[in-house]
Amino acid sequence: MDALQKALDQLDQATAAVKLAVQNMATAPGAGAAGDAAHALSGGAVDPFVFQFAIFVLAIFVGYYVVWSVTPALHTPLMAVTNAISSVIVVGALLAVGISASGLAAGFGFVALVLVSVNIFGGFLVTQRMLAMYKKKEK
């Protein structure tokens, strides 16, 4: 009888955790809510950080195989898309530098701004060089 009561208590705790995770998913969608849901559904066995880290590692592998399977003819458009993504990061970095209340956020925003600027400049140089390969040579 004692074991049955203990199992019912654990079931009640799990139900409350699932309800809390569902509420969190409704208010803050994303990987954090998914990590909380995995934590709740596993009865606390899966830490949300581990769940999010696993997603990050899988994204690294998927990105690696996607980029290396691109044919050489598609490298120029791929560089153009990379430059477009970097320009979005520039906007976020400028916002972090401009409206942040802490010096740490402004510092990270400035570092991001410098790195993305180098990335965009290098991307334009590489794209220009690759497009020059397709031009006819003048005699």
Q: Identify the residue whose tokens are 């809510």.
A: 33
Q: Give 12's pLDDT tier (boundaries 50, 70, 90).
A: low
Q: Identify the residue whose tokens are 């909380």.
A: 36
- Asked whether residue 90 carries a pLDDT value surpassing 70, the answer given is yes
Tell me which residue of 62, 67, 19 sits closest to 41, measured CA to CA: 19
Q: What's the average model confidence in pLDDT over 91-97?
A: 82
- Backbone dihedral region of 138: left (phi > 0), alpha (psi from -120 to 50 degrees) or beta? beta
- Asked whether residue 137 carries a pLDDT value surpassing 80, the answer given is no
Q: What's the average model confidence in pLDDT over 101-122?
A: 84
pLDDT of residue 26: 46
What average pLDDT does the structure give for the chain? 74
Mean pLDDT comparison of 18-22, 78-82, 114-118, highest-scoring range: 114-118
Residues 6+ apart with CB under 8 A from 14: 40, 41, 43
Q: Where are the alpha helices (DSSP H) in the chain?
A: 2-27, 31-41, 48-68, 75-99, 103-133
Q: What's the average model confidence in pLDDT over 84-107?
A: 81
Q: Identify the residue whose tokens are 């990590």.
A: 35
Q: CB of 114 within 8 A of CB of 97?
A: no
6-20, 54-68, 74-88, 122-136, range with the lowest pLDDT: 6-20
Higher pLDDT, 78 or 1: 78
Q: Identify the residue whose tokens are 């139900």.
A: 15
Higher pLDDT, 44 or 97: 97
- Both tokens of 133, joined, read 């390969």
- Asked whether residue 112 carries a pLDDT value surpassing 80, the answer given is yes
Q: What's the average model confidence in pLDDT over 25-33?
A: 53
